[in-house]
Amino acid sequence: MHDSAGVCVVLLNWNGWRDTVECLESVLRSDYPNFRVVVCDNASSDGSLERIKAWADGTLAAGAATPAFDRLRGTALARPLRYIELDRAAAERDRAETGADADSETAALTLIATGANLGFAGGNNVGLRHALADPRNEYFWLLNNDTVIEADALRRLVEHLRADPGAGICGSTLRHYYAPQRVQALGGSSYRALRCRAMPVGADQPAAAAIDGAAVERQLAYVNGASMMLSRSFLRDVGLMAEDYFLYYEEFDWARRAAGRYRLAYAPLSVVYHKEGGSIGTAGRGKISAVALYYLQRNRIKFMRRFYAARLPLLYLNMLLEMARALLRRDFFEIKWSLIAMLGLPPSGLNHQKRAP
C-alpha cells in the first residue's frame, strides 16, 4: 500500500503473557508496512513483562495454544526485537516535553507498566494517550491480547476506514479461536431494546458463509472491543473510553457518545481469532466468572441509566425474569451476583485482582 497511514496497535495484558506473546507473534507478521505495537500491562503478578521481554530478546520461545495456528508463524520473525520500556507517567507525557529518542523512533514494540489494574478502559487509555502523542499515528487498533490475526487483518481495517471517512470505529470478523470454522461476531453486536440486551451479529454462523458487510453495519450498535480500529479524528472529537465501567460496556458507551457524528464500520476480510474470556477467565465451572457476571450486570444498569434512563423499569423487569429462569435452573451463582449488581450493593468477596483484564 502506497502512502501507508501510521497505525498504533494497543494490547492490554493482565497476567496473560502467554496469550500476549502468541498475539504479538501474529501481529508482528502483518503485511501492513507502517505500524508499531504498544503493550500496556495492568500490574500483572505473574512476571508478564519480564516474560514478554525475554520473548522479545529471543530467550523465550513462543507457541500457539493450538497447532491450528502454527501456520501464522510460517515466516521468520527476527529477534532480538527492539523495544522500549516506560512507566505510566513517562508514557502519558507529551512528546514535546521529552522529545523522541532514536530508540522510540525505531522500536517496533513499546512496553508500558500502568502501575495498577486500571480495567479494560483505563489500561487501554494509557496506551492511547501515548499513541496519540505521536503524530505519525493516524489509526489506533485496540486488539485483545487473547487473539491471533491473519496477516492481512490490519491492512483490511485501514483500507476500510480510509475508504469511508465518515466512519470512526471499524470492527473485524471475529472467529472462535478453538473453533475457527464458526463466527464469534461479525464486527460487533446489535441491541435488542425490549430485552435490554446486546447480541453478537452473526454469532456461531459458519465462517464460510457469505457476508453482506453493509447489512452487518446496519445492525451494529457497537463494535466488539476484541478488535476495533479508531481514527485520530474520532478520538479527538469523541474522546477516550469511559473508565468508570472497569469491565464491559465501554464499547457501547463509546458508540453512543459518537452517535450522529461517526458511523460504525465493519471490514469483513479482517479476520481475528478470539479465545474469548482468556483475559478475564471463567469460574472453573463452564460458566462466567463472578468478576465478569458482576460487571456485566452492574454496567448494564450504569449504561442504561446514562443513556436510556426512561427504560430502566424495563431493564429491571428483564433482569428479574432472567433471575427467575436462573432459579428454575438452580443457578444460585448467577442469582447472587445479579442481585448484588441490581441492588447496588458493594461486591464484598469479589476479588478484583483475580481475573480482571
pLDDT at site 226: 97
The DSSP bridge partners found for residue 85 are: 111
Q: Is the peptide bond preceding residue 80 cis, with omega within 30 degrees of 0? A: yes
pLDDT at site 354: 35
Q: How far is CA 178 from CA 22, 51, 56, 282, 352, in A?
A: 14, 24, 26, 16, 27
CB 134 within 8 A of CB 99: no
How far is 327 from 339, CA to CA, in rounded Å? Answer: 12
Q: Residue 352: pLDDT above 50?
A: no
SS3 assignment, position 4: coil
Site of grid cell 461476531: 185
Kind and range of the H or E element at 137? strand 137-143
Helices (H), 164-249: 213-219, 232-238
At 67, the pLDDT band (50, 70, 90 cuts) reads confident
For residue 268, the 8-state DSSP code is E
Site of grid cell 457476571: 293
pLDDT at site 68: 86
At 282, the pLDDT band (50, 70, 90 cuts) reads very low
| pLDDT, tens digit (0-9, with 9 covering 90-100), for 288-322 | 788 889 999 999 999 999 999 999 999 999 999 99
Three cell numbers written together for 127: 496506551
For residue 146, the 8-state DSSP code is T
pLDDT at site 102: 47
List, by residue range, all CATH 3.90.550.60 domains of the chain: 6-274
SS3 assignment, position 245: coil
At 4, the pLDDT band (50, 70, 90 cuts) reads confident
Nearest alpha-carbon partner for 53 in 92, 19, 8, 84: 84
pLDDT at site 97: 56
At 52, the pLDDT band (50, 70, 90 cuts) reads very high
| pLDDT, tens digit (0-9, with 9 covering 90-100), for 118-170 | 999 999 999 999 999 999 999 999 999 999 999 999 999 999 999 998 999 99
Helices (H), 178-269: 213-219, 232-238, 250-258
SS3 assignment, position 230: strand
All residues at 6 or more sequence positions from 179 whose CB lies less than 8 Å from its CB, including other chains: none
At 281, the pLDDT band (50, 70, 90 cuts) reads very low
Q: How many CB atoms are closer than 10 A to CB 234?
A: 21
Q: What rounded mean pLDDT belongs to the chain?
A: 90
Site of grid cell 479508531: 230
Helices (H), the chain: 17-27, 48-57, 88-92, 95-98, 102-106, 119-132, 153-163, 213-219, 232-238, 250-258, 290-307, 312-328, 332-342, 352-355
- From 2.160.10.10, 3.90.550.60, 1.20.1250.20, 3.40.50.2300, which CATH number describes the 6-274 domain? 3.90.550.60
How far is 172 from 156, CA to CA, in rounded Å? Answer: 9
At 101, the pLDDT band (50, 70, 90 cuts) reads low
Q: Residue 96: pLDDT above 70?
A: no
Q: Which of 85-99, 107-121, 211-225, 257-271 has the lowest mean pLDDT?
A: 85-99
Three cell numbers written together for 217: 453495519
